Amino acid sequence: MHPLAGEKAPKEILEDIPALIAAYYTQIPNPKYPAQRVSFGTSGHRGSATKKSFNEAHIVAISQAVCDYRKEHKITGPLFMGKDTHALSTPAQLTAIRVFAANEVLTMIAADGAYTPTPLVSFAILAHNEKDDIHTSDGVVITPSHNPPSDGGFKYNPPNGGPADTHVTDWIERRANEILEKGVEKLELPSSEAAMASGFIEAYDFITPYVEALPSIVDIEAIRRAGLKIGVDPLGGAALGVYEKINEIHRLGLEILHPYVDPTFSFMTLDHDGKIRMDCSSPYAMASLIDLKKEYDLAFANDADADRHGIVTKSGLMKPNHYLSVAIKYLFKNRPLWGGDLKIGKTLVSSAMIDRIGEALGRKVYEVPVGFKWFALGLFNAELGFAGEESAGASFLRMDGSTWTTDKDGIILNLLAAEILAKTGEDPAQHYSKLEEKFGTSYYQRVDAPATPEEKARIKALKPEDIETDTLGGDPIESIFTRAPGNGQEIGGVKITTANGWVAIRPSGTEDIYKIYAESFVSWEHLQKLLDDAVKIITEALSAE
């Protein structure tokens, strides 16, 4: 734990924004080095200009690869482009616009350089494709999510509106690196001014249609009638304009904190490792809002692109797994038009509390690997009533059971918390206490441990037969799997379950570490036994011939 975790960011650590943007344009990545190539993780390509991992050459290559993918798959409708408030997002958008204009791709962007959250891009794609299923649209969002101010990110959403599946991102990544290797200077691109005047770049109002449609998914009228005092902190991100429009149209009287954009994010409190990170699920990054918990009936926040949520009640910041559990229980009990066959989507490292709730509700739980992309099709086909992941990302269907977004939407999850309080008189934290009384107390933790690239590869390739023990945490092992039970996809590691708990072991995709997730329904001591046994299992597996 960093000594300044939870404290206001000191001036000396703030990002030098002019130097960062200069590096974006002047630093030339060398694709011979893996760290300087295009690499799509669970949510697009991310990197930093000063590390030669997010520079103009990368964005030219990725944007051209997206154009090539559109041609290959006959995607002929407009491309919707969003961006967040990270300093590299606007330069990257200007670069992408030049590429899209050169390829004669009609591109929709927010007017006057405004910011557009991830869920609004998904919403716009789906709204267009509902009206025109021949000339289908897709989109990109330029965001590194909650990452530090030095980072940039670029992700692609296909016509289903959600995060691109691996077969899509693999195609784009491979093509982008081919372009990078040949040299992006070989592409003939117009100037930014010429691109904007080309007729292929149009202004689009992302916010108004989204905000006007909110009563179809959340009981806005109930929130307004309750007269709740609600604090909202966009954490300097793209959601600011959305909440301002919500107040304008729906008159909820939300008190918006930090109502401005600052690319250094100097108002943030430092995360656990002493870095500025707009992580609305971190008690350290959320310290300033938590300090105000007694001033509001409810408060909430979003990360920079608003695909994650953070709920603060009078008792403090809710853990993501706790709120997901409450949201699932409430929604499936209070959406009478939802069909009886709708499933609950969860990632394999989300709390088993969700499984217990699903069983009590008589609903099937659809468990997938880490990554919201695995939920996109289920939400698109309105087969999943709710889909959520342990890192505070979720979405759900409209009140009539139709699709809202197929990407994570932190805004509706925040407003749902207000609906829960308005209609039940109890906040989500109070609801979670009742869940624990009924289903038991969850003790959950994730720990990281160092691992070489070779060790990470071996962990990723583990098979059930490589686990030679019959017990975990003193209990008989009930299941060992390396493919998610919901969709049969490889989880990139292993999950082991017992009647009283589970562990999941996965290598990191970006760092030389592996992650152990564990949950006990017995005690903190039992949780520690689970973690200790997980370390032994990995140690034995890595030492085996």
Instruction: Enumerate the active-site residues.
Output: 145
HEC per residue, 339-402: CCCCEEEEECCCCCHHHHHHHHHCCCEEEECCCHHHHHHHHHCCCEEEEEECCCEEEECCCCCC
Cβ-proximal residues to 193 (8 Å cutoff; 6+ apart), any chain? none
In whole angstroms, what is the distance from residue 530 CA to residue 103 CA?
54
Exposed (0-12), middle (13-18) or buried (19+): which is 276, by Cβ within 10 Å? buried
Give how far Cα 201 sits from Cα of 79, 101, 116, 525, Å.
10, 7, 16, 58
Tokens 């929604």 appear where? 331
Q: How far does Cα 317 stand from its chain's mean position?
A: 18
List the beta bridge partners of residue 445: 518
Give how far Cα 459 sits from Cα of 278, 390, 466, 506, Å.
30, 21, 10, 7
In whole angstroms, what is the distance from residue 384 CA to residue 354 CA?
14
- Looking at residue 42, the DSSP 8-state letter turns out to be B
Contact 504, 534 (CB under 8 A): no
DSSP run (H or E) holding 479: strand 479-483
Residue whose C-alpha is closest to residue 142's, from 81, 230, 61: 81
- Looking at residue 192, the DSSP 8-state letter turns out to be H
List the beta bridge partners of residue 386: 344, 396
In whole angstroms, what is the distance from residue 529 CA to residue 311 CA?
30
Residue whose C-alpha is closest to residue 41's, from 187, 178, 176, 144: 144
Give how far Cα 289 sits from Cα of 6, 256, 280, 421, Å.
11, 11, 10, 19
The token pair that represents 479 in the structure block: 């299941």
Helix (H, G, I), strand (E, B) or coil at 336: coil
Contact 298, 228 (CB under 8 A): yes
The token pair that represents 469 in the structure block: 């023990």
